[in-house]
Structures are given as structure tokens and as C-alpha cells.
């Protein structure tokens, strides 16, 4: 995280450091609502991604909430224009409502 006075990034550098996430499991959410998880094998400036052993989490038909069911996609190329979120899966977990406990936050 650079804190230069300019605070703007050079055109060729992306703020997303995908190099650090190479060969790790990442969670990718897509604009349409699909959720994917796979090992990051490749990427480019436009955030097109190559995911190995990719799994798509099936959403519930009515609520569109992710369920435990999934389907395997194998080696997949994800179009960068459709990506809405990229998160490393390491350290990620589902938790109980944190906002009820900490009423100081916000």
C-alpha cells in the first residue's frame, strides 16, 4: 500500500496484486451473481483470470443466496469485465452477525 503524495497509480500497475495470489485459492464473484472458487493460475491487466479446479457455487433459485451445492468447472478462463470481487480464500470464513455484538462500530 503506497502512500505517496500523488496517491495515483501508474497506468501499467494495477492496484490488484494478483502476483501475490498466484497459485492460491481465490474466491471470485461475478456481476451476474455467480460465485466461483479456484486456484489462480494466470491473469492479465484487465483482470481476466485463469482458475484451475474451478467450482461454481449454485445459488438458490428464489433467494439467489449461495448454497452448499456446487458444480465443477475444471480449468476456466474468467472474463475480467464480469468480475466484481476477488478475494483470497485464505483466512476467509463465515461468521455470525458481528454488528449485533459490536455496537460501537458505525
Partner 1 sequence: MLPLSLLRAATGSPLLVELKDGTTYNGRLGTCDAWMNMNLTDVICTSATGERFWKLPSCYIRGSAIKYLRLSDAALEKAVEDEKELAQRSPAGRGGGRGRGRFDNSAGRGGRGRGRSGPSTGRGGGAGRGRTSAGRGRSGGRGPATQTSSS
Is residue 92 involved in binding partner 1 (CB under 8 A)? Answer: yes
**Of the residues 97, 101, 103, 104, which one makes contact with partner 1 according to CB under 8 A:** 97
If binding is defined by CB under 8 A, does position 19 make contact with partner 1?
no
9 binds partner 1 (CB under 8 A): yes
Rounded least distance, CB 21 to partner 1, Å: 9
Binds partner 1 (CB under 8 A): choice among 15, 19, 61, 101: 15
Task: Count the Cβ atoms, other than its own, within 10 Å of residue 23.
Answer: 8
Long-range contacts of 2-10 (CB under 8 A, 24+ apart): none
Query: How many whole angstroms separate alpha carbon 59 and alpha carbon 69?
Result: 8
Nearest alpha carbon to residue 52 among 69, 37, 66, 71:
37
**Which range, of 36-44, 48-56, 57-65, 69-77, touches partner 1 by CB under 8 A?**
57-65
Q: How far apart are CA 95 and CA 41, in angstroms?
A: 29
Binding piece for partner 1, criterion CB under 8 A, among 27-35, 36-44, 48-56, 70-78? 27-35
The one-character DSSP state at 99 is H
Q: How far is the CB of 70 from partner 1 (least distance, A)?
A: 16
Amino acid at each position: 500500500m503506497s502512500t505517496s503524495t500523488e496517491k495515483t497509480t501508474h497506468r501499467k500497475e494495477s492496484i490488484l496484486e494478483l502476483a501475490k495470489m498466484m497459485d492460491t485459492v481465490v474466491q471470485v464473484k461475478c456481476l451476474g451473481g455467480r460465485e466461483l472458487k479456484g486456484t489462480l493460475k494466470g491473469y492479465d491487466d484487465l483482470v481476466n483470470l485463469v482458475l484451475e479446479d474451478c467450482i461454481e457455487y449454485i445459488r438458490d433459485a428464489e433467494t439467489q443466496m449461495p448454497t452448499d451445492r456446487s458444480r465443477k468447472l475444471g480449468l476456466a478462463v474468467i472474463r475480467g469485465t464480469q468480475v466484481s470481487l476477488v478475494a483470497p480464500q485464505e483466512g476467509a470464513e463465515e461468521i455470525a452477525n458481528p454488528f449485533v455484538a459490536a455496537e460501537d462500530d458505525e
